[in-house]
Structure 1
């Protein structure tokens, strides 16, 4: 899940179509197909500093999802998964980053306008920018103030929600802009059936009556890799997490609400539509998961070393 706007986007080198180019030269033509029709898929990954050196968190799973997203959009990717992984490593090293956010992008480029995609116009890039652990937006330490968005989460019958596609994020942008305009940090979106889906750029978990619950994939949420990680961590810590539909009222009466995603990591929701959650402070479960997740991504928990790819 995304939320990378909180970090300063700047680096020395960006990988484009097989070569590293200076930051200022990483350009596309104004008639690039993806710019007009949102024909692009992407991923958001993070590299963390660990005692054994920089390591990318769950690289294989992110690249698998990237290529699955491309497959859904019938993109003929001109590079193999291993080549994209190598490009990611090369880009991080070229920028001398020890911790950063990583954005691989596959898109239809120049080669014709209109809804028919260019036959040989698929391009790829890898960007990264420095982002230290803990530099996420509101919610990590003070709790985020959220609102239920008036915008409905897109339906999988209209667009493939399991693809991490640029087009899907236009929906999220509308929700985020509305939340900020109304004085909130983040939006929580309902699906077409009125059930809780996700935040504009993060998956949602609720602790209610002692149970930790997250909306199922059938609710129209992105199959988040951080979501999967947190579910595994909860169970390994002796807890239980359930996947079933949540109503809006379940949010207001929750003991705790937290959001998870690559950019968000684990963030608390302490206010929703003016209603205090967890007495307006971070709950014990959220704090515990923040600690466990940080240990997992930084190599401090040996159980999850398999999730790390060292540079």
Structure 2
């Protein structure tokens, strides 16, 4: 097994030597954008698959544009760097890939202009983020989801995730697995690292982008599965908090979280308090997709090992 390797300052280097200065602007002010990308190991096929890698790269570039960050690399070059890095690390297990474009100048001062930009990537082994089998218990957070007029929520901004982290810790201290964040108008927005959707009367409903959600890649796949495989109606609209309690099923989606059933919210059972049958069916389909077992989505997969 090779030593863990990262990409920093234009070159591959051992992860333990991948360091930045404590004066780095992004470290002090959260001036960076990132992606979370999973590599999914299929032991039977002896293969590592990355799902929708190109979409993740496209999203980080859009995040960078919104935040006035300039990437040194094209999307194609970034793709090559990530694939090469995954191969160099030679993991035979599920992994998490974290690319970041950030303000690298060593300077004190609040601004986004007249600063250098840099790109890095690192990889870590990564198992289940939330429990996909038993389902999770959620609590509505007192911390409201940040508004797009404050920090652009379409961008995965490093500094923005203090908002999410506070909500996550509040949920943990209150005995929940995850938080549900409302927007500034009091409507359902998302989890701390996941999109949320409800199922009611054979319709899957998700909040709109104007509810300050991240435009989730996994959410789009979940909605596609619901439409094409389960013949559910798809609805995107504002969701009230009270609707969560009387939904037939509630689920969270995300690269880290996959498709995870929510079994209770604010100590109120969703349905019978067990993972819903529709969510479980969607989950099984999703796992077969990301592990390269479903040929209908093969064009969305990047195979790492030849």
Which residue, out of 10, 20, 25, partners 1:18?
Answer: 10
Q: Does the 8 A contact of 1:256 with 1:283 survive in 2?
A: yes
Q: Are positions 1:106 and 2:95 aligned together?
A: no
Alignment of 1:60-209 (within 5 A): 60-98=54-92, 99-117=94-112, 119-132=114-127, 135-138=128-131, 140-209=132-201
Q: Does the 8 A contact of 2:208 with 2:237 survive in 1?
A: yes
Q: Secondary structure at the match of 1:141?
A: coil
Q: Post-superposition shift, 1:120? A: 4.9
Which residue, out of 269, 280, 293, partners 1:287?
Answer: 280
| Cα distance in 2 between the residues matched to 1:52 and 1:307 | 19
Root-mean-square deviation (CA, aligned residues, Å) is: 1.4
- Matched residue, 1:28: 20
- Matched residue, 1:6: none
| Cα distance in 1 between the residues matched to 2:212 and 2:248 | 24
Q: Does the 8 A contact of 1:33 with 1:117 survive in 2?
A: no
Moved over 4 A (4+): none
Q: Are positions 1:302 and 2:299 aligned together?
A: no
TM-score by length of 1: 0.92
| Cα distance in 2 between the residues matched to 1:268 and 1:20 | 39
**Gapped runs of 5+ residues in structure 1?**
1-10
Which residue, out of 213, 219, 222, partners 2:205?
Answer: 213
Q: Post-superposition shift, 1:131? A: 2.6
Count of paired positions = 298
- 1:126-179 CA-to-partner distances (Å, cap 9, x unmatched) read 1111235xx2323x1111111000011111111110011112211100100100
| Cα distance in 2 between the residues matched to 1:186 and 1:19 | 37
| Cα distance in 2 between the residues matched to 1:266 and 1:73 | 29
Q: Post-superposition shift, 1:17? A: 2.2
TM-score by length of 2: 0.94
| Cα distance in 1 between the residues matched to 2:234 and 2:112 | 42
Q: Does the 8 A contact of 1:145 with 1:271 survive in 2?
A: yes
- Matched residue, 2:40: 48
Q: Post-superposition shift, 1:110? A: 2.7
Q: Secondary structure at the match of 1:167?
A: helix
Q: Does the 8 A contact of 1:106 with 1:122 survive in 2?
A: yes
| Cα distance in 1 between the residues matched to 2:267 and 2:8 | 45
| Cα distance in 2 between the residues matched to 1:116 and 1:281 | 48
- Matched residue, 2:269: 276
Q: Are positions 1:240 and 2:233 aligned together?
A: yes
Q: Does the 8 A contact of 2:246 with 2:271 survive in 1?
A: no
| Cα distance in 1 between the residues matched to 2:288 and 2:129 | 17
**Gapped runs of 5+ residues in structure 2?**
none
